[in-house]
Amino acid sequence: MGENEKINEMNSKSQLTSVSKFLSLVLRHEPHRIGITLDEAGWTLVDELLLKAAAVGRPISRDLLDEIVAGSDKQRFAFSEDGLCIRSNQGHSIEIDLDLPTVEPPDVLFHGTALRFIESILKSGLERRERHHVHLTQDRQTAAAVGQRYGQPVILRIDARAMSARGHQFRCSANSVWLTDAVPVEFIQVDP
């Protein structure tokens, strides 16, 4: 690969990341920033999203949007079956009902965090804070990557089977993120 091709590839990845972050902002947290509305399940019309994004100086082509939805390693976004609407799969800080059924979780789930949060977590458990749910994963490497975003990573092992047996409910998003309201301390172990 030549130098120009490498630069073009880096620019393309940078653009994808930038647009994905912008979509996360408006589809999870601040739809009002560009003047779109989300229905009760988090959906908005694709055409309206593209029009309003362009109006605020963030033009996104439908091809680029398709590439982001299809190519995201974390599958952050989804199109409706007819392709007319888009939403974020989870992570909202605004009131949204993703209409996910409760499901039986695997025996163990993981949560990635940073070392600086451990003392607080081991006192009060995992809380959803400004989000709708605590996010968990079946994949230890994913948890490590999440924790690394916030500092020195620490992986927490969650006894999901015991939580479920005690009446805690779990849901699983379209992109395989496990969601629950909170994780009490007694179900948390620091993973070695």
CATH tag for 108-190 (out of 3.20.170.30, 3.60.15.10, 3.40.50.970, 1.10.569.10): 3.20.170.30
pTM: 0.67
- Per-residue pLDDT reduced to its tens digit, 53-86: 999 999 999 999 999 998 766 788 999 999 999 9
As a CATH number, domain 3-88 is 1.10.10.970
* Long-range interactions of 126-133: CB distance < 8 A, separation 24+: 126/156, 126/158, 126/182, 126/183, 126/188, 127/182, 128/181, 128/182, 130/93, 131/91, 131/92, 131/93, 132/90, 132/92, 132/93, 132/95, 132/96, 132/179, 133/90, 133/171, 133/179, 133/180, 133/181
Specify the domain boundaries for CATH 3.20.170.30 within the chain: 108-190
- Per-residue pLDDT reduced to its tens digit, 7-19: 444 446 778 888 9
